[in-house]
Amino acid sequence: MTTLSFAVAGLHKPDRIVPAVRQLGSRHVGYGVQPHHYQTVGAALLWTLAQGLGSQFTPEVEAAWTAAYTLLADTMQS
């Protein structure tokens, strides 16, 4: 969660977080993480947010979290 919080806090200045996110992605390769795992994690994240936020998990909130996670996952895999 600390890494996710760091990344989300830095999304307004992606150039500051890209190096750390890429390093995180490199470490994940060493753990055996494969590209399809990112889809599973993204789906689990969105499900968890939907459960936790309830009616506050609007389509706009879902779209924002989807965009944020996609940016992070794509950067980790680059």
Tokens of 41: 């994690």
Position 45: which residue type?
Answer: L
Q: What is the domain count for the chain?
A: 1
Q: Domain of 54?
A: 2-77
71, 25 contact by CB (below 8 A): no
Listed in sequence order, the residues at least 6 apart from 61 whose beta carbon sits closer than 8 Å to its beta carbon are 49, 53
CATH number (domain holding residue 23): 1.10.490.10
- 5 band by pLDDT with thresholds 50, 70 and 90: confident
Which pLDDT does position 1 carry in this prediction?
64
DSSP string, 46-72: HHHHHHHHGGG--HHHHHHHHHHHHHH
Taking residues 48-72, what's their average pLDDT?
A: 95
